[in-house]
C-alpha cells in the first residue's frame, strides 16, 4: 500500500506541468471531395482543454451544403504519453450536398480558457455521384468483423435520409397560355429513386382548380413504372393523375398542388452489403410529397364573334338525321342532331332550332357521352327533337348552325348541315286525339270528348263525426309536431356531440364503401376494390371511436384497438387484410375474383366483430 501511494504521487508530480498547456483549435472535414448523394463530417478539435473549459460552438454557416445534424456530437479524450497528460474536446456536425459545384463551410468562433479562436473556411468539391470513387471502409486488421459494426454518429457518411431529390411529383400542363374555355391537360407524374419502396399512399389534402371546369381523365389501373435518368440519377416514374381543365374566366388562374402522403423506404446507398443487411434505421418513413401549383394565363376570345356563337371552344362536327321524310298529319317525326369532337361537351349549348310554324315542337331529349380514355376529352352530344305536323304540304326543315372558336386555328368556324324536306299528307281535320309521340305521350294537349253513356248510382253518406278518419286527421298535426320535436332534438345532438354524430354515420359510411367495392368486384378492378375495402375499415373504426381515420401506422392502430378492448384475433385479421390492401396497390400480379370475394367477406366479418366489441356485446 505504501509503494502504491508513492507511485501515484510521483505520477501526479510528473504530469502536473502538462496542465498548463496552451489551447489549440483545428477544423477539418472527413473528405474534401464528396458526391451529390453523400454527406461530409465537419469536426472542430480543441486541444489542451477539458470539457468544462470550452464553450460549445455554433455550427458554421455553409454555402452549397445543408446542415443535416444541427446538434453537434461531442467527444472528450485524455491521454498520458511519457508522463505528459494531454486533453482534447471535439465537436462534429454532418452536412449534405445541395448539388454539384464548389461548396464552402464558413468560419466560426470557439471560446476556450477565456480566449476566442476563429476557424478558417474550408472548401469542398461536390461531384456527380457516378464520378465519385467508392470509399473503402477502414478496417482493423486484427478485427475482421469490424465492418459489421453498427453505424454511429462518428461515421463520415450518415444513414441516408429521404429528400425531395429521392421522391417528388411533377405537374406537366399541356399549355400555359390558352383561351377561355380551351382545354388544358395536366398530368401528375410521381418520380422516386430506383430501389425505393412505397406503401400506404393517400391524398394528403383536397385538390381543387378554382376557376376551371374539370374532367378527370383515365389513367392506367396497372401502371408499370418507367425508368428514366435525370441529372445523373435513375428514377422510376408512374402517372398518378391526369385531368383536363377548362378555364371559365380570363386572367391568371392557379391549379392547386397535388399532395400525397406515403410511407417510403430507401435502401442504404453504401456499397458494403453488410452495411445494408445490419442497418438499424427504421424501415419505412412517412413522407409528404407535393407538386408545384400550375399557373395558366387565360386570354379572352377574339371580338367579332358570329351572332349565333354560344361559347363553344374546341373542334367539332355536326350531323343531322331525320327518321322519315313522308308522314301523315298528326304523326310525329324525329330529328336527331349530333355534335361530336374535342372540347367541353358537358357545357356546350345546343344550337338554335326553329322549325316551320305548322310543326308542334317538344323539348329535345339530350344525351351526352364523354370519352376520358385518351389524352383529350372527346365525346358526343345528341339532341332528339320531336315534331308533329298539323297541316299537309311540303315543308323544309331549316338548317342548324353551330358556331365555335377553334383555338388551333385561332378563328371562329360555323357548321351548317344540309336542310331536309318533309312531305306531309292526310286530312288535317282528322282527330289526332289517339296519336302519340315516340315517347308514348299524347300528341294533343286536349283529349277528345267522351261519347259513351254514363251510369249514376246513389252512395249512402257517412256522417262526419261517425268516421274514424275524422279523428285520425285531427290527431295528425299533433303527431307531426311530436315527430318534428324529436327530429330537432336529434339534430341538436348531432351538431353538439361529435362522438354521437360520428357513431351514427359509422355504419352508413362503411356500407357505402363496401357497396362500391362490390361494384368494383363485378367490374374486375382489383386496385380500386382494395382501396374501398381499406376505406370501409378505417372509416368505420374512426367514426365509432371518434378518432382520425388517417395518419395511423399499423402498430399505432393495433395499440389503439387493444386499448379499446379488441382481442388479438380480430386485430390480427384486420392487420392482415390491411397489409393485403397495401400489397395489391403496387403488386405486378393482381388477385383473382375468388381472392377479392374472400376479402369482401373478411372485411364484413371484421366490421361485425368490431361493432360487437365497441357496443359492449362481447
Q: Is residue 392 domain-shared with residue 510, that is, in the same domain?
A: no
How confident is the model over 407-423, as a mean pLDDT?
Answer: 85
How confident is the model over 350-368, as a mean pLDDT?
Answer: 83
Instruction: For residue 572, give the C-alpha cell.
Output: 390480427
- With respect to residue 598, please indicate whether it lies within any of the assigned structural domains: yes
Mean of per-residue pLDDT scores for the chain: 79
Q: Hey, which residues does 244 pair with through a beta bridge? A: 185, 215
Q: Is residue 216 domain-shared with residue 173, that is, in the same domain?
A: yes
What is the per-residue pLDDT for 273? Answer: 52
> Are residues 389 and 428 in contact, defined by beta-carbon separation less than 8 angstroms?
no
What is the per-residue pLDDT for 420? Answer: 83
pLDDT tens digits along 449-479 = 666 666 777 666 677 777 788 888 888 888 8
Of 250, 270, 299, which one is at a domain's C-terminal end? 299
Of 182-186, 267-271, 287-291, 333-337, minimum mean pLDDT range? 267-271
**In terms of pLDDT, which residue wins out, 382 or 71?**
382
Exposed e or buried b per residue across 161-198, where buried means at least 16 C-beta atoms within 10 angstroms of its C-beta: ebbebbbbbebeeeeeebbbbbbbbbbbbbbbbeebeb
* pLDDT above 80 (res 618): no
C-alpha–C-alpha distance, residues 276 and 292, integer Å: 34
Q: Give percent above pLDDT 70 in the chain.
A: 80
- Which string of DSSP letters, residue by residue, matches 104-171? EE---EEEETTEEEEPPPEEEEEE-GGGSPPPPPP--TT-TTGGGSPP-TTSSSPPP---TTTEEEEE
* pLDDT above 80 (res 349): yes
- With respect to residue 118, please indicate whether it lies within any of the assigned structural domains: yes
Q: How confident is the model at residue 14 (pLDDT cuts 50, 70, 90)?
A: very low
Q: Is residue 10 domain-shared with residue 102, that is, in the same domain?
A: yes
Of 234, 269, 299, which one is at a domain's C-terminal end? 299
Q: Is residue 196 domain-shared with residue 232, that is, in the same domain?
A: yes
Q: What is the pTM of this model?
A: 0.45
* pLDDT above 50 (res 201): yes
DSSP strand pairing (285-290 vs 259-265): antiparallel
| HSE-CB for 396 with a 13 A CA cutoff | 5
Q: Is residue 99 domain-shared with residue 8, that is, in the same domain?
A: yes
350: domain CATH number? Answer: 2.60.40.740
- With respect to residue 462, please indicate whether it lies within any of the assigned structural domains: no
**In terms of pLDDT, which residue wins out, 441 or 556?**
556
- With respect to residue 491, please indicate whether it lies within any of the assigned structural domains: no
- With respect to residue 488, please indicate whether it lies within any of the assigned structural domains: no
* pLDDT above 50 (res 294): yes
Q: Is residue 257 domain-shared with residue 322, that is, in the same domain?
A: no
611: domain CATH number? Answer: 1.20.120
Q: Is residue 294 domain-shared with residue 171, that is, in the same domain?
A: yes
DSSP strand pairing (365-371 vs 333-343): unpaired
What is the per-residue pLDDT for 299? Answer: 92
What is the per-residue pLDDT for 171? Answer: 93
* pLDDT above 80 (res 576): yes
- With respect to residue 481, please indicate whether it lies within any of the assigned structural domains: no
pLDDT tens digits along 133-182 = 555 444 444 344 444 444 444 444 444 567 888 899 999 999 999 999 99
C-alpha–C-alpha distance, residues 102 and 104, integer Å: 7
Q: Is residue 565 domain-shared with residue 609, that is, in the same domain?
A: yes
What angle is formed at CA 587 by the lines to CA 569 and CA 215, rounded to 5 degrees? 110
What is the per-residue pLDDT for 451? Answer: 62
Strand, helix or coil at 606?
Answer: helix
Sheet holding 101-105, edge to edge: 33-35, 122-127, 101-105, 62-63
183: domain CATH number? Answer: 2.60.40
How confident is the model over 90-114, as a mean pLDDT?
Answer: 88
Number of domains in the chain: 4
What is the per-residue pLDDT for 617? Answer: 58
Q: Is residue 280 domain-shared with residue 320, that is, in the same domain?
A: no
What is the per-residue pLDDT for 252? Answer: 92
What is the per-residue pLDDT for 36? Answer: 82
> Are residues 172 and 75 in contact, defined by beta-carbon separation less than 8 angstroms?
no
Instruction: For residue 50, give the C-alpha cell.
Output: 477539458
| HSE-CB for 56 with a 13 A CA cutoff | 10
Q: Is residue 292 domain-shared with residue 323, that is, in the same domain?
A: no
C-alpha distance from residue 181 to each of 106, 246, 315, 336 (Å):
54, 5, 12, 26
How confident is the model over 81-103, as a mean pLDDT?
Answer: 82
Of 409, 425, 441, which one is at a domain's C-terminal end? 425
Q: Is residue 175 domain-shared with residue 114, that is, in the same domain?
A: no
Q: Where are the beta strands (DSSP E) in 147-279?
A: 167-173, 177-179, 184-193, 197-203, 212-217, 226-230, 233-247, 251-255, 259-265
C-alpha–C-alpha distance, residues 30 and 90, integer Å: 14
What is the per-residue pLDDT for 30? Answer: 85
24: domain CATH number? Answer: 2.60.40.10
pLDDT tens digits along 430-440 = 544 445 554 55
- With respect to residue 272, please indicate whether it lies within any of the assigned structural domains: yes
C-alpha distance from residue 87 to each of 18, 78, 279, 426 (Å):
10, 5, 34, 121
Instruction: For residue 569, give the C-alpha cell.
Output: 384475433
What is the per-residue pLDDT for 527? Answer: 86
What is the per-residue pLDDT for 362? Answer: 82
* pLDDT above 80 (res 306): yes
- With respect to residue 434, please indicate whether it lies within any of the assigned structural domains: no
For residue 8, give its domain range.
2-132
How confident is the model over 175-195, as a mean pLDDT?
Answer: 90
Q: Is residue 105 domain-shared with residue 228, that is, in the same domain?
A: no
C-alpha distance from residue 254 to each of 173, 190, 288, 305, 474 (Å):
12, 20, 21, 28, 60
Amino acid at each position: 500500500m505504501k509503494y502504491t501511494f508513492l507511485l501515484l504521487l510521483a505520477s501526479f508530480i510528473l504530469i502536473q506541468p502538462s496542465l498548463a498547456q496552451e489551447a489549440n483549435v483545428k477544423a477539418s472535414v472527413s473528405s474534401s471531395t464528396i458526391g451529390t448523394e453523400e454527406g461530409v463530417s465537419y469536426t472542430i478539435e480543441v486541444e489542451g482543454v477539458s470539457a468544462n473549459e470550452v464553450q460549445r460552438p455554433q455550427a458554421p454557416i455553409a454555402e452549397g451544403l445543408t446542415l443535416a445534424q444541427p446538434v453537434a456530437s461531442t467527444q472528450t479524450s485524455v491521454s498520458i504519453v511519457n508522463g505528459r497528460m494531454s486533453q482534447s474536446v471535439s465537436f462534429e456536425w454532418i452536412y449534405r450536398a445541395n448539388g454539384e459545384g464548389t461548396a464552402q463551410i464558413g468560419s466560426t468562433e470557439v471560446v476556450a480558457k477565456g480566449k476566442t479562436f476563429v476557424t478558417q473556411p474550408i472548401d469542398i468539391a461536390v461531384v456527380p455521384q457516378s464520378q465519385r470513387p467508392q470509399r473503402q471502409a477502414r478496417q482493423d486488421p486484427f478485427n475482421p468483423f469490424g465492418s459489421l459494426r453498427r453505424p454511429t454518429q462518428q461515421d463520415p457518411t450518415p444513414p441516408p435520409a429521404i429528400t425531395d431529390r429521392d421522391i417528388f411529383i411533377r405537374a406537366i400542363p399541356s399549355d400555359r397560355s390558352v383561351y377561355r374555355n380551351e382545354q388544358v391537360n395536366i398530368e401528375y407524374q410521381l418520380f422516386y429513386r430506383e430501389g425505393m419502396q412505397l406503401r400506404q399512399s393517400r391524398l394528403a389534402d383536397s385538390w381543387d382548380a378554382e376557376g376551371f371546369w374539370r374532367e378527370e381523365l383515365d389513367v392506367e389501373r396497372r401502371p408499370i413504372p418507367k425508368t428514366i435518368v435525370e441529372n445523373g440519377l435513375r428514377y422510376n416514374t408512374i402517372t398518378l393523375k391526369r385531368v383536363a381543365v377548362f378555364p371559365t374566366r380570363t386572367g391568371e388562374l392557379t391549379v392547386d398542388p397535388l399532395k400525397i402522403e406515403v410511407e417510403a423506404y430507401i435502401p442504404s446507398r453504401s456499397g458494403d452489403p453488410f452495411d445494408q443487411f445490419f442497418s438499424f434505421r427504421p424501415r419505412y418513413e412517412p413522407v409528404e410529397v407535393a407538386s408545384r401549383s400550375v399557373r395558366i394565363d387565360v386570354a379572352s376570345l377574339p371580338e367579332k364573334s358570329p351572332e349565333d356563337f354560344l361559347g363553344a371552344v374546341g373542334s367539332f362536327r355536326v350531323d343531322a338525321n331525320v327518321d322519315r321524310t313522308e308522314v301523315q298529319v298528326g304523326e310525329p317525326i324525329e330529328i336527331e342532331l349530333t355534335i361530336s369532337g374535342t372540347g367541353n361537351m358537358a357545357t356546350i349549348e345546343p344550337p338554335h332550332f326553329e322549325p316551320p310554324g305548322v310543326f308542334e315542337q317538344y323539348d329535345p331529349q339530350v344525351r351526352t357521352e364523354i370519352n376520358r380514355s385518351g389524352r383529350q376529352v372527346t365525346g358526343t352530344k345528341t339532341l332528339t327533337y320531336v315534331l308533329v305536323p298539323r297541316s299537309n304540304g311540303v315543308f323544309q326543315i331549316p338548317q342548324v348552325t353551330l358556331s365555335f372558336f377553334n383555338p388551333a386555328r385561332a378563328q371562329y368556324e360555323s357548321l351548317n348541315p344540309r336542310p331536309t324536306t318533309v312531305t306531309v299528307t292526310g286530312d288535317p281535320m282528322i282527330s289526332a286525339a289517339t296519336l302519340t309521340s315516340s315517347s308514348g305521350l299524347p300528341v294533343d294537349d286536349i283529349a277528345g270528348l267522351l261519347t259513351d253513356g254514363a251510369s249514376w248510382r246513389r252512395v249512402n253518406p257517412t256522417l262526419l263525426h261517425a268516421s274514424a278518419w275524422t279523428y285520425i286527421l285531427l290527431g295528425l298535426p299533433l303527431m307531426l309536431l311530436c315527430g318534428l320535436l324529436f327530429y330537432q332534438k336529434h339534430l341538436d345532438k348531432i351538431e353538439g356531440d361529435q362522438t354521437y354524430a360520428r357513431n351514427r354515420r359509422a355504419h352508413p359510411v362503411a356500407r357505402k364503401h363496401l357497396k362500391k367495392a362490390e361494384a368494383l368486384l363485378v367490374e374486375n378492378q382489383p386496385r380500386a376494390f382494395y382501396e374501398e375495402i381499406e376505406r370501409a375499415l378505417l372509416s368505420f373504426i374512426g367514426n365509432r371511436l371518434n378518432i382520425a381515420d388517417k395518419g395511423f401506422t399499423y402498430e399505432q392502430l393495433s395499440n389503439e384497438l387493444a386499448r379499446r378492448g379488441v382481442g388479438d384475433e380480430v386485430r390480427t385479421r384486420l392487420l392482415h387484410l390491411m397489409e393485403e390492401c397495401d400489397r395489391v396497390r403496387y403488386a405486378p400480379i393482381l388477385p383473382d375474383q375468388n381472392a377479392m370475394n374472400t376479402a369482401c367477406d373478411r372485411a364484413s366479418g371484421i366490421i361485425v366483430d368490431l361493432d360487437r366489441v365497441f357496443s359492449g356485446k362481447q
